[in-house]
Amino acid sequence: MTNKDSQSNKEPEKELDAKEERYTFDETNQQDKLSTQDAAIEEELLKDSDGELPEASNDDIRTASLGAESASAHQAPKGGGGKAWMIVSAVLAILLIVVLIKPPFGTKNETVATVNGENISKDELYDELVKAGGPATLENLVTQELIQQEAKAASITVTDADIDAEIALIKKSFGTDEEFNSALAQYNMTLDSLKKDTKINLTIRKILEPKTDVTAEEMQQFYDANKEQLGTPEQIQASHILVATKEEADAILAELKQGGDFAAIAKEKSIDGSKDKGGDLGFFGRGAMVPEFEEAAFALKVNEISGVVQSEHGFHIIKKTAEKAAVVPTFEEKKEEIKKQLVATEVNELSEAWMSEIRTKAKITNTLTPEATTDPAATEAPKAE
């Protein structure tokens, strides 16, 4: 195994003001900065019954509902943390359970379980679910209804084709279908629940995009600051043989110098998972491997074999098999993508005030939390007689 382990002691990032962040492309956190997910809506959907946000890791509060802007430029880090859209879906799943279990008016109280002959009724189950998450899930429904009403007033629709295109970009951000499906399974999600969350996200984006104002100067500034990251970095392809001791590595190296077949020896003697592919690790860029391995691999010429390289994983013999030079795109090639990125950033900046505004204007009745009921007329100043 040569992939670099996650580092827990990263240097704190320097604080940037909002305008600087718009033009700074941090490859590790690009999904955070260039996300199309509405951060304010995400907060509304994640509030618990006390109105507080549940604890979550930094990865958990990131958004992965990618727009074309980020997915087309880079692949998201593989095996990353939970995605915010997944947390939202988990909350909505509880909401759905509460809604579906509540029996219609006039339906008799059905038994949903028995314990030693004692019945547990559907009403009892529903009441417990309401206690556990009723206020929060009702607030989710209120938020979704407000969004849909705003979309209807603006004649905005999100089609199945829109959703499918966005899902395709999310899949692309994971690299492979297997990783994407694994992430869904990890959070007990289905493709249908992801599509539901994606529809909400796209609706918000379509509502707020007309309110954004991205200039040509801003686009050029972003390109100048991030053109290397918008392109393809230098990459190499390499194979390796990994063993536990230096004595084994020295013996294998001597065998290779006598004309031994690298792939065949890797399959026979390597202790790494890549042995089944003859040691092939595929293409990778800088930062993907542990430092000792990376330094040795990038220093090789194509088809050259290294000496014995020690890392935390053991003793490697590396063969560089191909290389790709870095490609820097032109402004013309990337300007539409950049515009989408900057529009997405502005949508995020507008969303909190927008949500506050539509909630203030709305008349909301909440019987689970009466104090949360709002009536715009109650806040209006008395008219002069």
The pLDDT confidence band at residue 3, using thresholds 50, 70 and 90, is low
Count Cβ atoms below 10 Å from residue 24 Cβ, excluding itself.
Answer: 14
Residue 320 has pLDDT above 90, yes or no: yes
Place of tokens 């962040």: 21
Task: Give 263's DSSP letter.
Answer: H
The pLDDT confidence band at residue 259, using thresholds 50, 70 and 90, is very high
Ramachandran sector of residue 71 (left: φ over 0; alpha: ψ -120 to 50; beta: rest): alpha
* pLDDT score of 321: 96
91-109 in b/e form (b: 16+ CB < 10 A) is bbbbbeebeeebeeeeeee
Count Cβ atoms below 10 Å from residue 8 Cβ, excluding itself.
Answer: 5
Which of 125, 147, 145 shows the shortest CA–CA distance to 134? 125
Tell me what percent of the residues of the chain surpass a pLDDT of 90: 31
d(CA 49, CA 55): 13
Residue 316 has pLDDT above 50, yes or no: yes
Which of 186, 208, 206 shows the shortest CA–CA distance to 198? 206
Task: Give 175's DSSP letter.
Answer: S
Tell me what percent of the residues of the chain surpass a pLDDT of 70: 68
Task: Give 76's DSSP letter.
Answer: P
* pLDDT score of 85: 40
- Tens digit of each residue's pLDDT (9 = 90 or more) over 162-201: 999 888 888 877 767 888 888 889 888 889 888 988 888 8
Which of 299, 296, 304, 337 shows the shortest CA–CA distance to 320? 304
Q: Going from the N-terminus, what domains does the chain have, and what CATH number goes with each?
A: 18-228+331-379 (no CATH), 233-324 (3.10.50.40)
Which H/E stretch holds residue 310? strand 305-311
* pLDDT score of 367: 74
Helix (H, G, I), strand (E, B) or coil at 63: coil
Contact 347, 209 (CB under 8 A): yes
Stretch among 97-106, 329-338, 352-361, 362-371 having the lowest mean pLDDT: 97-106
User: Which residues partner with 285 through β-bridges?
Assistant: 235
Query: What does 336-350 look like in DSSP terms, one character per residue?
Result: HHHHHHHHHHHHHHH
pTM of the model: 0.51
Which H/E stretch holds residue 224? helix 216-230
The residue-averaged pLDDT of 301-327 equals: 95
The residue-averaged pLDDT of 77-105 equals: 39
Query: How does the average pLDDT of the chain come out, rounded?
Result: 74
Which of 141, 170, 132, 144 shows the shortest CA–CA distance to 54? 132
Stretch among 220-224, 248-252, 376-380 having the lowest mean pLDDT: 376-380
The residue-averaged pLDDT of 369-379 equals: 67
d(CA 322, CA 282): 9
* pLDDT score of 277: 95
CA distances to 135, 306, 374 from 367, rounded to whole Å, are 9, 71, 11
d(CA 243, CA 255): 14
* pLDDT score of 267: 96
d(CA 129, CA 134): 6
